[in-house]
Structure 1
Amino acid sequence: MSTVQGSTGSRWSRFQAWAAKDNIEDYSLRYAPKSFRRWTPMACSVTALGGIAYLADYSIGASIAVTHGASSAVVAILVAAVTIFLTGIPISYYAAKYNLDMDLLTRGAGFGYFGSTLTSLIYASFCFIFFALEGAIMAQAMLLAFGMPLWLGYLVGSIVIIPLVLYGMAALAKFQVWTQPLWLILFAAPLVMIASADPTGFDGFLSWAGDGGSARVTAIAVGAGAGVALSLIAQIGEQVDYLRFMPEKSETPRLRWWAAILAAGPGWVILGAAKQLCGAFLAFYVAGQVGFTKATEPIEQFLGAYGSVIHNHAVALTIATIMVLLSQVKINVTNAYSGSLSWSNFFSRVLHLHPGRVVWLGLHIVIATSLMLANMFTVLNTILGFYSNVAIAWIGAIVADMVINKGILKISPSYIEFKRAYLYPINPVGFGSMLVGSALSITAYFGAFGPLLAAWSPYLALAVAMVLAPIIAIATKGKYYLARPNPLREEIEKEPLWAGQTLLDVVDGKRYELPDMVHDCPFHGGPISSLTCTLTKGCHEQCQSPSYANTVGAVELGLPSSRAAVS
Structure 2
Amino acid sequence: MSSSEQPVGEVQVHPQPAPPGSGPWARFVTWAGQDTIEDYSLRYAPKSFRKWSPMACAITALGGIAYLADYSIGASIAVSHGSASAVVAIIVAAVTIFLTGIPIAYYAAKYNIDMDLLTRGAGFGYFGSTLTSLIYASFCFIFFALEGSIMAQAMKLALHIPLALGYVLGSLIIIPLVLYGMTALAKFQVWTQPLWLVLFVAPIVFIATADPKGFNGFLTWAGDGGTERVTAIGVGAGAGVALSLIAQIGEQVDYLRFMPEKSETPPWRWWSAVLAAGPGWVILGAAKQICGAFLAFYVAGKVGFTAATEPIQQFLGGFGSVLHNDTVALAVATIMVLLSQVKINVTNAYSGSLSWSNFFSRVLHIHPGRVVWLGLHIAIALALMLGNMFAVLNTILGFYSNVAIAWIGAIVADLVINKPLLKLSPSYVEFKRAYLYSINPVGFVSMMVGSFFSILAFYNVFGDFMAAWSPYLALALAFFLSPVICILTKGKYYLVRPNPIREEIEKEPLWAGQTLLDIVDQKRYELPDMVHDCPFHGGTISSLTCTLTKCHDLCKTSAYIDSVTTATLRNAAEPQPTT
In the superposition, relative to structure 1, how do residues 112 and 178 fare at CA in structure 2: closer, same or farther (>3 Å)? same
Report the Cα offset of residue 545 of structure 1: 1.7
Once residues 18 and 473 of structure 1 are traced to their aligned partners in structure 2, the CA distance between those partners, rounded to angstroms, is 42
Report the Cα offset of residue 546 of structure 1: 2.5
Q: Which residue of 2 aligns with 1:544?
A: 556
CA RMSD of aligned residues (A): 1.1
Deviations 1:120-146 (A, max 9, x none): 000000000000000000000000000
Report the Cα offset of residue 540 of structure 1: 1.4
The answer to whether the aligner puts 1:464 opposite 2:468 as a matched pair is no
Report the Cα offset of residue 13 of structure 1: 3.4
1:53 alignment partner, SS class = coil
User: Are 1:198 and 1:308, in contact at CA under 8 Å, matched by a contact in 2?
Assistant: yes
Matches within 5 A, 1:163-562: 163-537=176-550, 539-552=551-564
2:516 alignment partner, SS class = strand
Report the Cα offset of residue 547 of structure 1: 3.3
Once residues 427 and 208 of structure 2 are traced to their aligned partners in structure 1, the CA distance between those partners, rounded to angstroms, is 51
TM-score of the pair, normalised by structure 1 = 0.96
Once residues 86 and 472 of structure 2 are traced to their aligned partners in structure 1, the CA distance between those partners, rounded to angstroms, is 17
Q: Which residue of 2 aligns with 1:563?
A: none
2:65 alignment partner, SS class = helix
Report the Cα offset of residue 15 of structure 1: 3.4
The answer to whether the aligner puts 1:48 opposite 2:61 as a matched pair is yes
Once residues 61 and 523 of structure 2 are traced to their aligned partners in structure 1, the CA distance between those partners, rounded to angstroms, is 30
Once residues 14 and 371 of structure 1 are traced to their aligned partners in structure 2, the CA distance between those partners, rounded to angstroms, is 28
In the superposition, relative to structure 1, how do residues 554 and 260 fare at CA in structure 2: closer, same or farther (>3 Å)? farther
User: Are 1:161 and 1:333, in contact at CA under 8 Å, matched by a contact in 2?
Assistant: yes
The answer to whether the aligner puts 1:151 opposite 2:164 as a matched pair is yes
Once residues 560 and 313 of structure 2 are traced to their aligned partners in structure 1, the CA distance between those partners, rounded to angstroms, is 65
Q: Unaligned 5+ residue runs, structure 1? A: 557-567
Query: What is the letter of the counterpart of residue 133 of structure 2?
Result: S
Query: What is the letter of the counterpart of residue 433 of structure 1?
Result: S
In the superposition, relative to structure 1, how do residues 300 and 518 fare at CA in structure 2: closer, same or farther (>3 Å)? same
1:436 alignment partner, SS class = helix
Report the Cα offset of residue 549 of structure 1: 2.2
Query: What is the letter of the counterpart of residue 346 of structure 2?
Result: V
Once residues 438 and 17 of structure 1 are traced to their aligned partners in structure 2, the CA distance between those partners, rounded to angstroms, is 41
Deviations 1:484-523 (A, max 9, x none): 0000000000000110000000101111000000001000
Report the Cα offset of residue 18 of structure 1: 2.5
In the superposition, relative to structure 1, how do residues 10 and 456 fare at CA in structure 2: closer, same or farther (>3 Å)? closer
In the superposition, relative to structure 1, how do residues 10 and 304 fare at CA in structure 2: closer, same or farther (>3 Å)? closer
Report the Cα offset of residue 17 of structure 1: 2.0
Deviations 1:355-394 (A, max 9, x none): 0000000000000000000000000000000000000000
Query: What is the letter of the counterpart of residue 284 of structure 1?
Result: F
Q: Which residue of 2 aligns with 1:136?
A: 149
Once residues 256 and 546 of structure 1 are traced to their aligned partners in structure 2, the CA distance between those partners, rounded to angstroms, is 46
User: Are 1:485 and 1:553, in contact at CA under 8 Å, matched by a contact in 2?
Assistant: no
Query: What is the letter of the counterpart of residue 276 of structure 2?
Result: A
Deviations 1:394-444 (A, max 9, x none): 000000000000011111000000000000000000000000000000000
Report the Cα offset of residue 548 of structure 1: 2.0
In the superposition, relative to structure 1, how do residues 518 and 58 fare at CA in structure 2: closer, same or farther (>3 Å)? same
Query: What is the letter of the counterpart of residue 310 of structure 2?
Result: E
In the superposition, relative to structure 1, how do residues 439 and 158 fare at CA in structure 2: closer, same or farther (>3 Å)? same
1:398 alignment partner, SS class = helix
2:420 alignment partner, SS class = helix
Query: What is the letter of the counterpart of residue 111 of structure 2?
Result: Y
Q: Which moved more, 1:544-553 or 1:180-189?
A: 544-553
Once residues 469 and 481 of structure 2 are traced to their aligned partners in structure 1, the CA distance between those partners, rounded to angstroms, is 19
Q: Which moved more, 1:19-28 or 1:115-124?
A: 19-28
User: Are 2:123 and 2:441, in contact at CA under 8 Å, matched by a contact in 1?
Assistant: yes
Once residues 211 and 11 of structure 1 are traced to their aligned partners in structure 2, the CA distance between those partners, rounded to angstroms, is 51
In the superposition, relative to structure 1, how do residues 262 and 554 fare at CA in structure 2: closer, same or farther (>3 Å)? farther
Report the Cα offset of residue 8 of structure 1: 4.0
Instruction: Tell me which stretches of 4 or more aligned residues in structure 1 moved more than 3 Å.
Output: 5-15, 550-556
User: Are 1:487 and 1:553, in contact at CA under 8 Å, matched by a contact in 2?
Assistant: no
Deviations 1:47-90 (A, max 9, x none): 00000100000000000000000000000000000000000000
Query: What is the letter of the counterpart of residue 219 of structure 2?
Result: L
Deviations 1:459-496 (A, max 9, x none): 00000000000000000000000010000000000000
Once residues 46 and 21 of structure 2 are traced to their aligned partners in structure 1, the CA distance between those partners, rounded to angstroms, is 34
Once residues 202 and 447 of structure 2 are traced to their aligned partners in structure 1, the CA distance between those partners, rounded to angstroms, is 42
Report the Cα offset of residue 542 of structure 1: 1.1
